[in-house]
Amino acid sequence: MTDPNGGSLRQKSVGKYAYLAGVCILFLMIAAGLKMWTDPGNRLLRRNKEPLVQSGFLFDTVISVSLYDNQKQEILDGAFALCRRYEDICSPSRRDSELFRMNHRGAGVTVWKTDSELPDIVRLGLEYSEKTDGAFDLTVQPLSELWDFRSGKAQVPEEAKIREAVKKIDYRRVSVEQGCIRFQDDQTQIDIGAVAKGFIADRIKEYLLSQGVGSAIINLGGNVLCVGEKPGGEAFQIAIRKPERESSEVVKRLSVRDQSVVTSGIYERCFDLNGVHYHHILDPKTGMPYQNGLSSVTIVGPSSGICDALSTSCFSLGEEKGMKLLDGTDGYYGYMIRLDGSIRASAGAPE
């Protein structure tokens, strides 16, 4: 049988199928394009996009991790899980933290065995206690726990208590071996507040690198560690703030690639009473905050742990000795800001 209209009918349906196929292909192309654009791992297309950021409150401060070349939320989740693990080890106030349990180890107990990184953090602190001859002293805890710079109450501890605490400070009563911290007595207590955030930032960086991240900023309450550079090849810009409470005025901008920027200052954990400014970097000899004409010390260099240790150490040593320590540390430079606002750069500083 021959359908007189058969030919044109077939032509019509072929045309309709070709049209439908065309629409389908176009749709698939748009969908593929969209997927590529939103693909969390697509670095090429994400180059100039906003970073993926997660913030939180840990280590008694506001922290954030920003990924510039990767949009995988699970990497940020992993970084924050790591932070929570370090909080379990390092919190000075949580009674269940490893640090608290070690500091309250009980009568007669002089050895603390552990498979955590606590001995590594203590080793870093002891190294700088030695380098500063005790101006920075990792065993300052009995003294630092007397001072309250957090609640907003302006109160100087009783003199007798300060004298008692000062007697308990001496970093030479502590030593570290593999997996073990040894004390000469059961009274000596450790304060890792001056080094822990830097140490932890270095560990977060290692984790990010292991996940394939090559461009990121880790900010643990102003303790900043840059991973690589911006995806376009530019340096990260890190600002040094004017060392005054609640000031957002910038005194210096630093161009930083794969380096850490850490500041120790007198303007965040502090109070004023009867015309005296009291702050959280304490002189282990007098028990009082250092009054040495410095307002802040900023250190730049590859290891955030060393920057953190150096910033508090150089502050504790004061301008001349502090600069000497910094100038003698290869690969690190920095700036001291005096109370009158003038700035002194170390020998290795750019410009």
Binding site for ligand ADP (CB under 6 A): 136-138, 140, 144, 191, 193-194, 197, 223, 264, 268-269, 280-282, 284, 308, 311-312, 316
Question: Helices marked H in the chain — which ranges?
Answer: 6-38, 43-46, 73-90, 98-103, 118-131, 141-144, 159-167, 196-210, 304-317, 319-327
Nearer to ligand ADP, 214 or 221 (CB): 221
Answer yes or no: are the C-beta atoms of 297 and 325 closer than 8 Å: no
Nearer to ligand ADP, 75 or 194 (CB): 194
Nearer to ligand ADP, 264 or 295 (CB): 264
Answer yes or no: are the C-beta atoms of 193 and 229 closer than 8 Å: no
Cβ of residue 314: shortest distance to ligand ADP, in angstroms? Answer: 10
The CA distance from 229 to 262, in Å, is 18
Answer yes or no: are the C-beta atoms of 89 and 117 closer than 8 Å: yes
Which among ligand ADP, Mg ion, none contacts residue 144 (Cβ within 5 to 8 A by kind)?
ligand ADP
Q: Is 312 in the site for Mg ion (CB under 5 A)?
A: yes
- Span from 175-183, 204-212, 228-236, 310-318 in contact with Mg ion (CB under 5 A): 310-318
The CA distance from 75 to 63, in Å, is 16
CA 174 to chain centre: 26
Nearer to ligand ADP, 193 or 231 (CB): 193
Q: How many residues bind Mg ion (CB under 5 A)?
A: 5
**210, two tokens:** 């292991």
Cβ of residue 259: shortest distance to ligand ADP, in angstroms? Answer: 17
Which among ligand ADP, Mg ion, none contacts residue 137 (Cβ within 5 to 8 A by kind)?
ligand ADP
Nearer to ligand ADP, 220 or 227 (CB): 220
Q: Report which of 211, 137, 203, 219 is spatially closest to residue 173, judged by C-alpha positions.
A: 137
Per CB under 5 A, which of residues 259..278 are in contact with Mg ion? 264
Q: Is 323 in the site for Mg ion (CB under 5 A)?
A: no
Angle at 55 between CA 251 and CA 310, to 5 degrees: 45
Cβ of residue 301: shortest distance to Mg ion, in angstroms? Answer: 13
Which residue in 71, 188, 189, 311 binds Mg ion (CB under 5 A)?
A: 311
Nearer to ligand ADP, 66 or 189 (CB): 189
What are the backbone dihedrals phi and psi of residue 121, each rounded to the nearest 5 degrees, phi first? -65, -45
310 residue type, one letter: L
* Cβ neighbours for 135, distance < 8 A, ≥ 6 positions apart: 283, 284, 313, 316, 317, 321
Which among Mg ion, ligand ADP, none contacts residue 223 (Cβ within 5 to 8 A by kind)?
ligand ADP
Burial of 274 (0-12, 13-18, 19+ CB in 10 A): exposed
The CA distance from 112 to 181, in Å, is 5
Residue nearest to Mg ion (CB): 312
Nearer to Mg ion, 188 or 313 (CB): 313
Residue nearest to ligand ADP (CB): 193
DSSP 172: G
Nearer to Mg ion, 138 or 208 (CB): 138
Which among ligand ADP, Mg ion, none contacts residue 202 (Cβ within 5 to 8 A by kind)?
none
Cβ of residue 213: shortest distance to ligand ADP, in angstroms? Answer: 24
Q: Is 308 in the site for Mg ion (CB under 5 A)?
A: yes
Q: Residue 166 to residues 123, 145, 189, 232: CA-CA distances in angstroms?
A: 22, 12, 12, 52
Cβ of residue 122: shortest distance to ligand ADP, in angstroms? Answer: 12
Which among ligand ADP, Mg ion, none contacts residue 140 (Cβ within 5 to 8 A by kind)?
ligand ADP
Binding site for Mg ion (CB under 5 A): 194, 264, 308, 311-312
